[in-house]
Chain A
């Protein structure tokens, strides 16, 4: 991952708990890591441009906004069809994530994962039925895993990268 150097990692570590809520947050972050404000802003823009940061902004806790039904939906889709099926699923506005992951046979036969957030369970089940129909995958093995308790939710840690920075 040549796009990301140690200074980038130190910057990501410095903001992993969020920007300070002050008038000039990038200057404060810059002081913390011993860089200039211009350097911090320039690096962040480059990381966004390179796709390392996929979004920069407010990170919403969906449960607090009343989106209490969260389902991870998984399917077993043939390897030569999974890209085409995923493109259809990912285009639906209520699909918030769509990933391919490895199967772990015999325990875990599913390779396509979608996350759906909805206000209630009934709505989410209807959305899943619509996905199955639109993508023509209703006959494929699948499972719906609604979330029960959230034990932890926060951003990724990069703090261990700090050790490598003078």
Chain B
């Protein structure tokens, strides 16, 4: 597990949301934390290099700037690696997890429109010979405030 410096911890508390949208955002963030811009930039790079964060950017609300769905497959255990590779190779797939259930492979597909999402699911089903169940979001109840430390 990653060991965080004080500044890294502060950054994760302060900057999972409401990143300053202004010309010099790291300077603004540094000011808020009572430190310097160079230190903040170095700390964010460090978090990225150690894979504590995946990026600094936007989390887009599903189905606003495109279309997305959650898909599930029931994959025989001896084919799981092969099928996971086929799923990962699709550029529209952004999360892909093995889970403990008869439906053991779960992935999220997002693309510019619903036809593109459907196309990805169809290609995966054709390439694997396995059915894919499509579970699109109908309603979101939770406001994503970031991950509590």
Main secondary structure of the interface of A (DSSP, over half): mixed
Task: List the interface of chain B (C-beta within 8 A of A).
Answer: 1-2, 11-12, 15-19, 21-27, 37, 41, 44-45, 47-48, 50-61, 63-66, 68, 70, 72, 84, 87-88, 91-101, 103, 106-108, 110-112, 116, 133-149
Report yes or no: A52 in contact with B99, Cβ–Cβ below 8 A: no
- B61 contacts A154, CB within 8 Å? no
Asked whether B21 lies within 8 Å of A58 as measured between CB atoms, the reply is no
- A104 pairs with B23, CB closer than 8 A: no
What are 28 A-to-B residue pairs whose CB atoms are below 8 Å? A9-B66, A15-B57, A21-B56, A25-B26, A41-B21, A53-B60, A53-B61, A54-B144, A56-B17, A57-B146, A60-B147, A61-B52, A65-B149, A72-B106, A90-B141, A94-B148, A96-B147, A100-B139, A104-B133, A144-B100, A145-B100, A145-B101, A146-B99, A152-B87, A152-B94, A155-B57, A158-B65, A160-B111
User: In the complex the two chains form, what is the Cα distance from A144 to B103 in whole Å?
Assistant: 12
Q: What's the count of A-B pairs with C-beta under 8 Å?
A: 257
A21 to B135, CA, bound (A): 36
Residue numbers of A with Cβ under 8 A of B are: 1, 3-4, 8-9, 12, 15-19, 21-27, 37, 41, 44-45, 47-48, 50-62, 64-67, 72, 83, 86-87, 89-90, 93-102, 104, 107-108, 113, 117, 143-161
